[in-house]
Amino acid sequence: MKLKLLVARAESTLEEALAARRAVEAGFRGVVEAASEVPEVSAPGWAYSRGRRQYLASAFVKLAEEARRARRADIALIVTSLDLYAPGLNFVFGEAMLGAGVVSTARLKQSFWGLPEDSKLFKRRLTIVARHEVGHALGLPHCMNWSCFMHFHNSVYELDIGGTELCESCWRRLQAAYGLSRGGLR
């Protein structure tokens, strides 16, 4: 049995949400199955900090959790182009709790850093962050292995030297947590 993944978008293009959905489905092949709908949810105005010009990431995680319950999904991921922060951190690429997460595309774009757009690089970064947050939503902690997408990334530089796949030991952890058969893991 596969886990049902709901991808929703808040101030993000459908194209970006679909790219994240494809990346997550492929990254957790045999484990998650995405819902066909990609609902649009509105960004919580109260979560905006005027001083920081950013939104509080945890507000989007709560929003994802609400969408997950409403649509009877096992995991929900919100894709947003809004820049997110968490208390004590200048910014976050995403955030998650068990069952729900958010990914921000704001800093994954070269244009954010004053550089010419690079769609291939953007998609690679989005792949890593979307998979990483869904990994947390599935209960995976950070991984020490740099080539694993569950490694902690604190900058686009770290994302760009990081890997796009889940390592063997994280796969085994998932397998144990969900009682998945070997065949269910690729």
Distance CA 2, CA 173 (A): 16
Closest CA to 108 of 149, 75, 156, 60: 156
8-16, 20-28, 69-77, 147-155 -> range binding Zn ion (CB under 5 A): 147-155
Spell out where 11-74 has E strands. 32-34, 48-49, 54-56
Distance CA 69, CA 72 (A): 5
Q: Collapse the DSSP code of 165 into the 3-class scheme (helix H, G, I; strand E, B; otherwise coil) and give the result.
A: strand
* β-strand partners of 8: 78
Among 34, 43, 59, 150, contact with Zn ion (rule: CB under 5 A): 150
- Please, what is the minimum distance in Å from the beta carbon of residue 166 to Zn ion? 6
Q: Does 92 bind Zn ion (CB under 5 A)?
A: no
Q: Is residue 133 annotated as a catalytic residue, yes or no?
A: yes
| Per annotation, catalytic residue among 66, 133, 158, 168 | 133
Residue closer to Zn ion (CB basis): 119 or 169: 169
Please give the size of the binding site for Zn ion, defined by CB under 5 A.
6
Q: Does 140 bind Zn ion (CB under 5 A)?
A: no
Q: Which two tokens stand for residue 43?
A: 């960004």
Among 7, 20, 130, 143, contact with Zn ion (rule: CB under 5 A): 143
Residues of the shown chain interacting with Zn ion in the complex, contacts defined by CB under 5 A: 143, 145, 148, 150, 167, 170
The set of catalytic residues is 133
